[in-house]
Amino acid sequence: MIELEEVWRTYRLGGEPIHALAGISERIEAGEHVAIMGPSGSGKSTLLHVLGCLDRPTAGSYRLDGQDVTQLEDDALAELRGHRIGFVFQAYHLVARLSAEANVELPMVFLGVPRGERRRRAAAALEAVGLLDRRRHRPAELSGGQRQRVAIARATVMRPRLLLADEPTGNLDSAAGAQVLDLLDQLHAEGITLVVVTHDPEVARRAGRVLVLRDGRVAARLAGSELGGLERALGRGKPGP
């Protein structure tokens, strides 16, 4: 599904090149659950933005379902994002003045989905995350966990094949975070490809595979169950005998 070949993302700071991504080559199969970890500044969010077509590589190629998306014009990229990729962010990014239902409908408004179809899909998406009874509530009237579940409903309302989540439990307490992670696990079980950026090894353990980034490169590839390997790859804890 995802094929990265020698992907670089370089920025200029004071005239000097800063390599946020430095020659990453990786393949993520359809239906995988992959976690991305690494220290601050390692390139995690930059990689997620490239995968989500929110940013373009400076060099290299990115193929999504066999299509080289680096060659697409901006309008074609927007269309691709709208129909095939969902996004969940730590800060929810809900519109404060809109109800939960209207927030879920928002991407469909931009894609020209008729009003009746928008209402039907939004109701189904909110029911799937257990919040249909809160559809008239605005974000300020919802808990953090409920806001994130609304954000997940919005991200999946167009039934994307790829869901990208950037620290989806970072603003939540442990109970609300567990609910959100269970929901993401359920979506993955239904066949969606899930890529999660996280700093928490316990979140990464839920993934089938973990990529550990350092200085814009993949420093380690581990099974999600290898918590000890994760700790060592991240420089936490001591290797065993």
Q: What is the CATH number of the domain that holds 195?
A: 3.40.50.300
Per the domain annotation, does 239 fall within a domain? Answer: no
Average pLDDT estimate for 192-204: 94
Alpha helix positions (H), the chain: 44-51, 74-84, 100-110, 115-128, 144-156, 174-189, 201-204, 227-233
* Rounded Cα gap, residues 209 and 222, in angstroms: 6
Per the domain annotation, does 5 fall within a domain? Answer: no
User: How many domains is the chain partitioned into structurally?
Assistant: 1
| Among the listed residues 42, 142, 156, the one whose alpha carbon sits nearest the alpha carbon of residue 104 | 156
139 residue type, one letter: P
Per the domain annotation, does 105 fall within a domain? Answer: yes
Q: Is the pLDDT of residue 240 over 70?
A: no
* Rounded Cα gap, residues 238 and 241, in angstroms: 9
pLDDT of residue 13: 86
112 residue type, one letter: G
Place 15 in a pLDDT band, splitting at 50, 70 and 90. confident
Tokens for 49?
């933005």
Tens-place pLDDT, residues 163-184: 999 999 988 999 999 999 999 9
Per the domain annotation, does 138 fall within a domain? Answer: yes
Q: Is the pLDDT of residue 223 over 60?
A: yes
* Rounded Cα gap, residues 7 and 129, in angstroms: 35
Query: At CA 27, angle to CA 21 and CA 33, rounded to 5?
Result: 100
Tally Cβ neighbours within 10 Å of residue 158. 18
Measure the CA dihedral 176/170/212/30, to 10°. Answer: 60
pLDDT of residue 47: 97
Q: Is the pLDDT of residue 237 over 60?
A: no
Q: Answer positive or negative: Cα dihedral of 84, 89, 92, 95.
A: negative
Per the domain annotation, does 211 fall within a domain? Answer: yes
Per the domain annotation, does 114 fall within a domain? Answer: yes
pLDDT of residue 238: 44
pLDDT of residue 231: 65
131 is in which domain, residue-wise? 30-56+73-233
Place 71 in a pLDDT band, splitting at 50, 70 and 90. confident
pLDDT of residue 225: 77
Per the domain annotation, does 19 fall within a domain? Answer: no
pLDDT of residue 241: 33
| Among the listed residues 62, 70, 88, the one whose alpha carbon sits nearest the alpha carbon of residue 4 | 62
Per the domain annotation, does 191 fall within a domain? Answer: yes
Tens-place pLDDT, residues 104-144: 999 999 999 999 999 999 999 999 999 999 999 999 999 99
* 75 within 8 A of 83, measured Cβ to Cβ: no
pLDDT of residue 229: 62
